């Protein structure tokens, strides 16, 4: 059976790194097994779902490189992939269950349900629906519905044992009698999460559900629905959640948690997926930690996912960011520099500076500094400085500094012929070339700037008044 996994976000907010890791594990598992990664939008909460959030989630996933094989915008034969477009299938399934006595209409108002909850709490019982509408006979139920009374549909929860054979947690046992008859269709006809998820996982041929372990308690309900409809449920893997440094599940109060915030802070998608993949999953020992998505997908095996919650560590993420920045191909580096022109100067500067700095922001600043012509007014050149700059200017024939090695050669030969110290010479040259006494070696600067640009900058420096 070919692998079909899904990521099923609700478009009620921006994509959180915890969700990204769920998406990533699904994606890695699909790629590893040559299966399909399906994106399903769970937008049945009409109040909270927004098309803008859906668009943002799709954009974030694309930015991360987690392309889906089937989804709202990629047809694959099991669509539609937006739950709001699948309402007739939920109603038909609910009708089927009602017809077989496996579901019933519930007329309890929200106030009545709340009163029930309080009663049970007062008796020290778990606050769940007590099943009172199960007893309403079919004729009575039909009459009340005809008279326009609002009714939800509830599932008759079987009371027997349900074992979730979880690939990460092992077998987890539930007793149906501990679970209530949950709502499958709300009074407005919209499906509940557990019902829609169970139906769609079947309709979309999902073979394995990989999701956060906050959903483990839902799984027996989804299994019961599948079985009631005569289906074999998919396999499950519940992955421990990501926690903050204080041990609580990662949330807004820990700082940046959305993909958008990470992106705005200069985190590279390559670094974020690499870091998140290793958060709760470990590659075989001896494997280099810094990897791209395609290598990670070759290495990924679910049984190396940890059973303990993972700790989010911003410093470790920053370390991955540095590692990936050093490895980025030039075209990606140039895209990060926008709106700077991707000319030869920027190209050479990013090649060198991406190995020196810690973040794309720092890279942009460093490249901008090199691109900016030093202000002549800021230079105070001594007569000795002028002599070395003149000598350098003379040595910069076209093409003389085509490589950093050639540039080093040029500098060495000038230094040999000059009376002053090499340090003083380099200091004056760097000031004239970039206006700053610190930074890259002068040979590297010369190579980045090229002969012509370097000569222009030297000429401007030489045109400045002589200092003391
Ligand atoms: N829409 C659910 C969520 O975002 C999906 C849970 C699942 O994967 O079944 O939490």
User: How far apart (Å, rounded) are the C-alpha atoms in residues 341 and 359?
Assistant: 20
User: How far apart (Å, rounded) are the C-alpha atoms in residues 16 and 276?
Assistant: 12
Per the domain annotation, does 211 fall within a domain?
no
Split at pLDDT 50, 70, 90, the class of 377 is low
**Tell me, what CATH number does 428's domain have?**
1.10.10.350
Could you tell me if 323 and 336 lie in one domain? Answer: no
Pocket test for ligand 1, best of 11, 166, 197 (most atoms within 8 A of CB): 197
Please report the pLDDT score of residue 346 as a whole number: 97
Could you tell me if 281 and 344 lie in one domain? Answer: no
Could you tell me if 317 and 271 lie in one domain? Answer: yes
Which of these three, 364, 389, 412, is where a domain ends? 364
Residue 26, token pair as written in the block: 């699904």
215 CA → ligand 1 middle, Å:
8
DSSP 13: S
Which of these three, 364, 385, 412, is where a domain ends? 364
Whether the CB of 348 sits within 6 Å of ligand 1: no
Please report the pLDDT score of residue 376 as a whole number: 67
Would you call 252 a catalytic residue per the annotation? yes
User: How far apart (Å, rounded) are the C-alpha atoms in residues 326 and 330?
Assistant: 10
Could you tell me if 264 and 335 lie in one domain? Answer: no
Could you tell me if 340 and 403 lie in one domain? Answer: no
End-to-end CA distance of the chain: 82
Could you tell me if 334 and 322 lie in one domain? Answer: no
**Residue written as tokens 């994106």?**
39
The contacts of residue 407 (CB under 8 Å, 6+ apart) are: 400, 401, 442, 443, 444, 446, 447
Long-range CB pairs of 409-413, under 8 A, 24+ apart, other chains included: 410/443, 410/446, 411/442, 411/443, 411/446
Whether the CB of 208 sits within 6 Å of ligand 1: no
Least confident of 54-58, 90-94, 241-245: 241-245
**Residue of the CA atom closest to atom 4 of ligand 1:** 9
Residue 93, token pair as written in the block: 């399934």
Could you tell me if 438 and 457 lie in one domain? Answer: yes
What one-character-per-residue DSSP string does 388-402 give? HHHHHHHH--TTTTS
190 CA → ligand 1 middle, Å:
16
Which of these three, 364, 389, 420, is where a domain ends? 364
Q: Which residue has the higher pLDDT, 413 or 236?
A: 236
DSSP 136: S
Whether the CB of 197 sits within 6 Å of ligand 1: yes
Per the domain annotation, does 277 fall within a domain?
yes
**Residue of the CA atom closest to atom 3 of ligand 1:** 9
Per the domain annotation, does 241 fall within a domain?
no
Whether the CB of 9 sits within 6 Å of ligand 1: yes
Per the domain annotation, does 175 fall within a domain?
no
pTM of the model: 0.92
Write the pLDDT tens digit of every residue in 156-196.
999 999 999 999 999 999 999 999 999 999 999 999 999 99
Please report the pLDDT score of residue 254 as a whole number: 87
Asked if pLDDT for residue 468 goes beyond 50, the answer is no
Least confident of 43-52, 261-270, 286-295, 375-384: 375-384
Per the domain annotation, does 399 fall within a domain?
yes
Sheet holding 208-212, edge to edge: 170-175, 161-166, 235-239, 208-212
Per the domain annotation, does 1 fall within a domain?
no
Could you tell me if 429 and 446 lie in one domain? Answer: yes
Closest CA to 457 of 355, 388, 376: 376
Could you tell me if 380 and 345 lie in one domain? Answer: no
The alpha-carbon radius of gyration of the chain (Å, integer) is: 32
Residue 171, token pair as written in the block: 């077998």
- Total domain count, the chain: 3
User: How far apart (Å, rounded) are the C-alpha atoms in residues 65 and 269?
Assistant: 8
Could you tell me if 316 and 343 lie in one domain? Answer: no
Per the domain annotation, does 311 fall within a domain?
yes
- What is the average per-residue pLDDT within 366-382? 84
Asked if pLDDT for residue 466 goes beyond 80, the answer is no
Ligand 1 atom closest to the Cα of residue 209 is 8
Asked if pLDDT for residue 23 goes beyond 50, the answer is yes
User: How far apart (Å, rounded) are the C-alpha atoms in residues 382 and 365?
Assistant: 29
Could you tell me if 312 and 337 lie in one domain? Answer: no
Mutual angle of helices 383-395 and 404-417, in 10-degree steps? 130
Least confident of 19-28, 213-222, 254-263: 254-263
Asked if pLDDT for residue 467 goes beyond 70, the answer is no
The contacts of residue 280 (CB under 8 Å, 6+ apart) are: 21, 239, 240, 242, 305, 306, 309, 310
Query: Domain span at residue 422?
Result: 376-462
Write down the mean pLDDT value for the chain.
Answer: 94
Element (H, E) at 261: helix 259-264
Could you tell me if 425 and 399 lie in one domain? Answer: yes
- What is the average per-residue pLDDT within 424-430? 90
- How far, rounded to the nearest angstrom, does the alpha carbon of residue 23 sit from its chain's CA centroid? 8
**Tell me, what CATH number does 307's domain have?**
1.10.1160.10
User: How far apart (Å, rounded) are the C-alpha atoms in residues 71 and 451?
Assistant: 53
Element (H, E) at 362: helix 360-371
Write the pLDDT tens digit of every residue in 61-89.
999 999 999 999 999 999 999 999 999 99
- Considering the chain, what percentage of its residues have pLDDT values greater than 70? 99
- CB-CB contact of 177 with 165 (8 Å): no
Per the domain annotation, does 384 fall within a domain?
yes
Split at pLDDT 50, 70, 90, the class of 437 is confident
- CB-CB contact of 313 with 245 (8 Å): yes
Please report the pLDDT score of residue 419 as a whole number: 77
DSSP 254: G
**Beta strand 183-185 with 4-7: parallel, antiparallel or unpaired?**
unpaired
- What is the average per-residue pLDDT within 234-244? 95
**Residue written as tokens 């939008």?**
41
Asked if pLDDT for residue 269 goes beyond 50, the answer is yes
């Amino acid at each position: 059976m070919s692998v079909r996994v899904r990521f099923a976000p609700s478009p009620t907010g921006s994509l959180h790194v915890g969700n990204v890791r769920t998406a990533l594990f699904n994606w890695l598992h699909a790629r590893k097994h040559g299966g399909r990664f399906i994106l399903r939008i769970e937008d049945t909460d009409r109040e909270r779902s927004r098309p803008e959030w859906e668009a943002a989630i799709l954009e974030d996933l694309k930015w991360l490189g987690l392309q889906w094989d089937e989804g709202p915008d990629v047809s694959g034969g099991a669509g539609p992939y937006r739950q709001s477009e699948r309402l007739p299938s939920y109603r038909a399934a609910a009708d089927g269950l009602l017809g077989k006595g496996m579901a019933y209409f519930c007329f309890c108002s929200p106030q009545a349900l709340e009163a029930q909850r309080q009663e049970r709490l007062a008796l020290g019982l778990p606050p769940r629906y007590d099943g009172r509408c199960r007893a309403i006979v079919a004729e009575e139920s039909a009459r009340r519905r005809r008279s326009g009374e609002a009714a939800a549909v509830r599932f008759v929860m079987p009371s027997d044992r349900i074992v979730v054979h979880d690939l990460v947690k092992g077998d987890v046992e539930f007793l149906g009698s501990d679970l209530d008859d949950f709502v499958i269709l709300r009074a407005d006809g919209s499906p509940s999460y557990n019902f829609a998820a169970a139906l769609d996982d079947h309709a979309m041929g999902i073979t394995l559900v990989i999701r956060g372990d906050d959903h483990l308690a839902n799984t027996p309900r989804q299994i019961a629905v599948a079985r009631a409809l005569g289906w074999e449920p998919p396999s499950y893997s519940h992955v421990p959640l990501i926690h903050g440094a204080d041990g609580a599940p990662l949330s807004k109060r820990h700082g940046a948690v959305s993909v958008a915030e990470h992106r705005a802070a200069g985190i590279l998608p390559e670094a974020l997926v690499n870091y998140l993949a290793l958060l709760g999953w470990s590659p075989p020992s001896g494997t280099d930690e810094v990897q791209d998505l395609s290598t990670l997908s070759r290495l990924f095996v679910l049984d190396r996912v940890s059973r303990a919650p993972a700790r989010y560590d911003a410093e470790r993420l920053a370390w991955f960011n540095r590692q990936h920045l050093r490895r980025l191909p030039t075209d990606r580096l140039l895209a990060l520099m926008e709106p700077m022109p991707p000319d030869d100067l920027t190209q050479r500067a990013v090649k060198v500076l991406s190995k020196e700095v810690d973040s794309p922001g720092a890279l942009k600043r460093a490249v901008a500094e090199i691109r900016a012509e030093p202000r002549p007014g800021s230079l105070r050149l001594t007569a000795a400085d002028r002599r070395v700059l003149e000598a350098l200017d003379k040595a910069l024939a076209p093409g003389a500094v085509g490589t950093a090695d050639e540039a080093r050669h040029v500098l060495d030969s000038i230094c040999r012929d000059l009376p002053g110290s090499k340090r003083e010479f380099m200091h004056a040259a760097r000031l004239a070339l970039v206006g700053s006494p610190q930074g890259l070696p002068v040979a590297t600067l010369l190579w980045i700037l090229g002969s012509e640009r370097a000569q222009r900058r030297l000429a401007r420096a030489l045109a400045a008044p002589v200092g003391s």
